[in-house]
Amino acid sequence: MEQGLKSLSAHEIEESRLTTKLLPFALAFALAACAAEPVHVTAERLSSNPLLRPGGQPWNELGLFNPTAIKMGEKTVLLFRAQDKQQTSRIGYAESSDGLHFTVRPEPVLSPETHYEKGGGLEDPRVVRINGIYYLTYTGYNLHDAQLCLATSTDLIHWQRRGVILPAYHGTWNMKWTKSGAIVPEKINGKWWMYYLGTRTDADGKDRDYMGLASSDDLLHWADATDKPVLDRRAGAFDSRVMEPGPAPFLTGAGILLLYNGADDNLVYGPGWVLFDLNDPRRVLARADHPFILPALEWEKVGNVPNVIFLEGAVQVSSAHDSVELTGYYGGADKYVGGMRIHVTSAVDSRSAKPKQIPFAENWNAR
């Protein structure tokens, strides 16, 4: 069932690509060309209009946004957050044969049922496929606590809840809520790893959202792997207030690449990237100084939450030995779904990488 979806012509898509390439990213391309960084990331919008809009059903009337994405055969599937007029969140399902025009199922695939979901709902999913099983992390919100939860499926529609996997208030360093689990889709040193968001109160008395790291032996039971966040705060930077994981990380010849969402002190959201050591997921090798895209269009700047581009989904379009091209799916202003083309280039030629390392982008949307 199509819900508020505007058809995008080939001319419109190409026009948007050209427009968005010219100014916002000219500087990014120039910087990438001269920077001595192991990874370069650039992006341009697929369209100047949302790919999906709220409406069509009461359960997605207020917002349809923040999608995770995965390939299922020839289809691209989005699992997105939807809000009704009471601001209760559910997880909906949409699919597409071309990655641009999506059909939304008339009913959500996950609705609030448990005590840790009732009242606020299920928010901000992220999905990865491992050994034929889909693992979906999401935030369960009961109007009092937000906690990182897990569900599993074999078809992306029927889900088995696995409960809260990182409880609020009980971490090694995070004093408050937990959210946004991005699972590394390959074992490293015999364990599974997951980057997540945790909130703590800093010495100045202000609450800030940091990125943490958890580990697991079985993908179902998780615990903090560090006694502090894996990313330090940088005052005045694009991520000075929020450092929140985006899509599932992937492995490159240069390391573990995670696209993440940063917000500055004015709560303007835009995605950047961080590269972790392939042999030690706690160790930061390199990190973006600037977001690779920022809110610029009206529907990215005005909505339920202003000035937000929030990247949660990405699927691979093409890859080479030192680069990968992705289609990214993001929430605009906590109301709409947008699309972007993301270009990632590694300065490390994976053909000469150490034997233990994995070729660039081999495991995006892993088995």
| 162: in domain | yes
CA–CA separation, 141 vs 214, rounded Å?
A: 20
Q: What is the pLDDT of residue 24?
A: 37
List, in sequence order, the alpha helices (H) in the chain.
10-22, 26-34, 298-301
Q: What is the pLDDT of residue 347?
A: 62
| 281: in domain | yes
CATH number where 68 lies: 2.115.10.20
Q: Residue holding tokens 């699972």? A: 183
Grouping H, G, I as helix, E, B as strand and the rest as coil, residue 26 is helix
| 54: in domain | yes
Q: CB-based contacts of 221: which residues, under 8 Å, 6+ apart?
A: 165
**Which residue segment(s) compose the domain that 46 sits in?**
10-352
Q: What is the pLDDT of residue 307?
A: 98
| 367: in domain | no
Q: What is the pLDDT of residue 3?
A: 37
Q: Which two tokens stand for residue 212?
A: 């943490």
Give the residues across from 75 on adjacent strands: 72
| 3: in domain | no
Q: What is the pLDDT of residue 36?
A: 57
pTM listed for this prediction: 0.86
Q: What is the pLDDT of residue 2?
A: 34
Grouping H, G, I as helix, E, B as strand and the rest as coil, residue 20 is helix
Residue stretches of the chain with pLDDT short of 50: 1-35, 349-367
Please spell the DSSP secondary structure of 141-205, one letter per residue.
Answer: E-SS-EEEEEEEESSSSS-EEEEEEE-TT-SSS--S-EEEEEE-SS-BTTBEEEEEEEEEE-TTS
| 167: in domain | yes
The C-alpha angle with vertex 262 and arms to 75 and 20, in degrees rounded to 5, equals 60
| 2: in domain | no
Structural domains in the chain (count): 1
CA–CA separation, 160 vs 263, rounded Å?
A: 33
CA–CA separation, 340 vs 84, rounded Å?
A: 26
